[in-house]
Amino acid sequence: MFLLTTLDVAQLVAPEPAHVSFVARTLRSLGVAVEPPSVEKMLTQLLDKCCKSVEARVLGFLKAAVVPVSLTVDTTGALNGADVVNYMAAAASSGQVPLLLDAVERPSGADADASADWAARDLARVVKKLASPVAGCVLPCSRPHSRQTRERLEKQFPGMYFHGCMRNALLTLARQIFVPSAAVSESDRKHSVALPFSQDLQQCALQCQDLVFLLPRREEVSYLGKSDSTDNRLMHVTVRRRLTVEDGFVAILQAEPFLDADKVLDQLLCASPEETPSDGLTRTHHSDDIAHLQTQLTKVVRSSQFTDKLRKYLGIIRPIHALLLSLSGDAKSSPMLLSEVYASFSQLVQELAANPLLQPEEKTSLHILVRQQQERVLGTAHFLSYLLDPVLLGENLTVDTKAEAEQKLMASFHADGSPLSDTDKEALYEQYMDFKKFAFNQKANKADTLAFRTLKERKKSPLEFWFVDGAKWPSLQAIACRIFVMPVCTFSAKCVISAAGIDPIMVSKMVDARTSANLTYVRVNSRQLHVAESSGTVLTPATHNPQLESSSNDITASMVV
């Protein structure tokens, strides 16, 4: 196990690994006639045993979680061109450290209905394998079969929550802004929205990419490394120039300094004396080049046409970029909570509508695109979390939307999928009314207290509030603890695998598929378990609550395992 989890992967899967050669030489020097087994045989046997050991640790860790675990599904590309579906699980009580449950190839060539059937069956297989309660699952929302898959899962698991990945939706939105037909299935193609400025946006992005090359410092965008690598993202800007959507997106962001043309020109074109060549001819030639460059660059960046376009498209790209940063934890504030997703989409629409450089028809098209992605993301858990967040309390919801959300709360299911009895519904309603009264009073009259400030500043999460302070509303506490464990986005299997020191393409070229899968499972989960176990639990109940030990069929905090 130590070698499998610490040795460099390239050495581990090499045709003649150093550690095997060392064992062989040692045996021969001792006069032992036993030869070590072949690399393939030894690696296979070791991995089989280690896999079983690590799997038992993973399942045991998830079962010991004090709240239900959450699942996520994302897709990566395989060497043979197939899509690999990665199932990951995390316990919110241990800092949402994702563990890899399984990775399987999706059948190719199937239509949307067949793909949805397969996806629902396969997720059911993964859920059945877990011995711990599962709150729900976050799914990709840009696939042609995403909607059908979610509908099937909601019918199959009424006690679980399902919603789309917000990062996936925002990146899809960016692709559709650059290329309106991007990430649109054949069935949705007739409903696709045409953006009048898409071609002009591509041209502007290409121009920005050429310009940002001159900048000494450029902002790096880390969240693009978590995106689905199987999507088509190439733009044919000109006959000879192509650009990915990601490169165009980043180029416009990085070109923002050119809005202050004088400052940029001073930085780029004012060479210090130390940089001036000592040779007279070289100095003259250098000066001529600088003068020509300055003339051309000044002509571009001081053009009102360029700056107006850049300002217009930054007004579209920046709000999306800000949301993606908040999802990835790269922003200065804490990562976005599930209860903040609904309001974030509304704020995005408002910011785009406030862009003075956009025409009315352009604003309308962007509004439609944002609402399409919002519909693909939002699930029941988003609305219920908005209601049960002790800071938000469903504020800014329309009367009809809030009434619909409260109806969904009253129509909740037990964790095992069975419906609530009339008695359960009455208790749930009374507790919800009491919670609202308490939370509104705290927000209105005790806003300056330490207890409320820790909630408002997100130093104490809604999950911590409900786990620690929610015992007075046991039925509501059980539901809240299933909702607030749900992540906003899918966990990136690509990032987790890379952090474990594995290059999937390199490994798949050197060993068979089974060995590659087992090695990835052992390396990833050994590392993730170490991180999760080291972090300890972030949830500690304030007092002993006998409801925590009641039957799992009761809609009480028994769902907090």
Return the pLDDT at 12.
61
Number of H helices, E strands in the chain: 23, 7
Amino acid at 89: A
Q: Cα separation of 253 and 221, whole Å?
A: 10
Return the pLDDT at 238.
73
DSSP, residue by residue, 326-344: HHHT-SSSPPPPGGGHHHH
Q: What is the 3-state secondary structure (H, E, C) of 119-174?
A: HHHHHHHHHHHCCCCEEEEEECCCCCCHHHHHHHHHHHCCCCEEEECHHHHHHHHH
Among all chains, which residue has been given the structure tokens 């000066």?
287
Long-range contacts of 304-308 (CB under 8 A, 24+ apart): 306/207, 306/258, 307/258, 307/259, 307/261, 308/357
| 478 and 425 part of one domain | yes
| pTM: predicted TM-score of the whole model, two decimal places | 0.85
Q: Quote the number of domains for the chain.
A: 3
The SS3 call for residue 538 is coil
The SS3 call for residue 443 is helix
Residue 282 domain-assigned (yes or no): no
CB neighbour burial string for 320-348, b if at least 16 within 10 angstroms, e if fewer: bbebbbbbbeeeeeebbbbbbbbbbbeeb
Return the pLDDT at 135.
97
Residue 275 domain-assigned (yes or no): no
DSSP, residue by residue, 67-113: S-EEEEEEEEE-TTS-EEEEEEEE-GGGT---EEEEEEEPPSS--HH
| 444 and 530 part of one domain | no
| 438 and 529 part of one domain | no
The parent domain of residue 102 ranges over 2-170+490-547
| 394 and 507 part of one domain | no
| 313 and 344 part of one domain | yes
Compute the CA torsion angle 164, 166, 170, 171 (nearest 10 deg): -80
CB 379 within 8 A of CB 164: yes
Residue 180 domain-assigned (yes or no): yes
| 312 and 407 part of one domain | no
In the structure encoding, which two tokens stand for residue 11, read together? 């050495």
Residue 293 domain-assigned (yes or no): no
pLDDT < 50 regions, the chain: 229-230, 271-285, 331, 542-561
| 191 and 337 part of one domain | yes
The SS3 call for residue 423 is helix
